[in-house]
């Protein structure tokens, strides 16, 4: 995966930089648009945001079109989606872009993870493609990467990255996950993501790690300000 180079309107926060997120502290978010037409993702993220008193609306609910993802990185595509939703709704907007990156395949499928599943979203075929490309390679290392993009209508955008490393197995195991989950075993674990209960997966997933950075930079400072007011 290529490295995303922030423009002057972007801020990309790693853990040490979260304490520098002073711009974010000046913002108070009451309504947040999720730049997705996926009801399941809206429900999942809505539950995560509930403790922070944020009203969640989806791009689909607001009738916003889905922009073409022309970026060359997860960060680029996430920003494209969040900016389009923020400007279309005139509200802060959150999006995510994520995928599987396989070391022996030079990071593929990466940002094209969903496309490997084809128009029918057949991830069984996508997993078979990964396994076929790996062949007899002894290197089965891979990682899931997620970038959350939070944008405002004026174009300001913050990016939060989460990653989890692991190993690919074959044949796939488990039926509780989705995407490439049945062939991915997180580092230090024996079960695939698809063999784990949702709560256990969420405690370590790439998306939850990115979300934790978002919460630490945006919502926890807002709570502290309210407590000190």
pLDDT on residue 41: 74
Please report which confidence band the pLDDT of residue 228 belongs to, taking 50, 70 and 90 as the band edges: low
| pTM strictly above 0.75 | yes
- The catalytic position among 25, 97, 106, 122 is 97
Structure-token match 């000046």, residue found:
26
Cβ neighbours of residue 38 closer than 8 Å, sequence gap 6 or more: 60
Q: 160 has which bridge partners?
A: 13, 148
Q: Between 133 and 2, where is the model more confident?
A: 133
Rounded to whole angstroms, the Cα distance separating 63 from 89 reads 9
The CA R_g of the chain, rounded to the nearest whole Å, is 18
Q: What is the DSSP letter of 128?
A: H
- Give the percent of the chain with pLDDT over 70: 84
* Region 22-37 average pLDDT: 72
- H helices of the chain, in order, are 22-25, 39-49, 74-89, 113-116, 123-134, 198-202, 206-214, 220-228
**Predicted confidence (pLDDT) per residue in 111-168, tens digit:** 999 899 998 889 999 999 999 999 999 999 999 999 999 999 999 999 999 999 999 9
* Region 202-206 average pLDDT: 90
Mean pLDDT, the chain, whole residue set: 85
Rounded to whole angstroms, the Cα distance separating 228 from 187 reads 41
Rounded to whole angstroms, the Cα distance separating 212 from 64 reads 27
The answer, yes or no, to whether residue 190 has pLDDT greater than 90, is yes
**Predicted confidence (pLDDT) per residue in 65-97, tens digit:** 999 999 999 999 999 999 999 999 999 999 999
pLDDT on residue 45: 78
* Region 35-51 average pLDDT: 79
- Is 97 a catalytic site residue? yes
Cβ atoms within 10 A of the Cβ of 169, count?
14
pLDDT on residue 155: 94
Rounded to whole angstroms, the Cα distance separating 125 from 148 reads 27
């Amino acid at each position: 995966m290529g490295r995303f180079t922030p423009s002057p309107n972007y801020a990309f926060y790693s853990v040490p930089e979260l304490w520098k997120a002073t711009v974010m502290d000046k913002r108070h978010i009451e309504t947040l648009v999720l730049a997705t037409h996926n009801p399941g993702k809206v429900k999942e993220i809505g539950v995560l945001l509930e403790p922070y008193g944020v009203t969640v609306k989806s791009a689909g609910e607001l009738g916003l079109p889905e922009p073409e993802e022309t970026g060359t990185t997860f960060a680029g595509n996430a920003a494209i989606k969040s900016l389009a939703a923020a400007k279309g709704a005139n509200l802060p907007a959150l999006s995510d872009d994520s995928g599987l990156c396989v070391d022996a395949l030079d990071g593929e499928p990466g940002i094209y993870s969903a496309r490997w599943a084809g128009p029918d979203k057949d991830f069984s075929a996508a997993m078979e493609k990964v396994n076929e490309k790996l062949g007899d390679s002894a290197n089965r290392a891979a990682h899931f990467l997620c970038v959350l993009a939070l944008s405002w209508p004026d174009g300001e955008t913050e990016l939060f990255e989460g990653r989890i490393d692991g190993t690919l197995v074959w044949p796939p195991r488990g039926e509780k996950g989705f995407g490439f989950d049945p062939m991915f075993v997180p580092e230090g674990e024996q079960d695939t993501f698809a063999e784990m209960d949702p709560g256990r997966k969420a405690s370590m997933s790439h998306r939850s790690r990115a979300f934790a950075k978002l919460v630490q930079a945006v919502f926890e400072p807002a709570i502290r300000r309210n407590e000190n007011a």
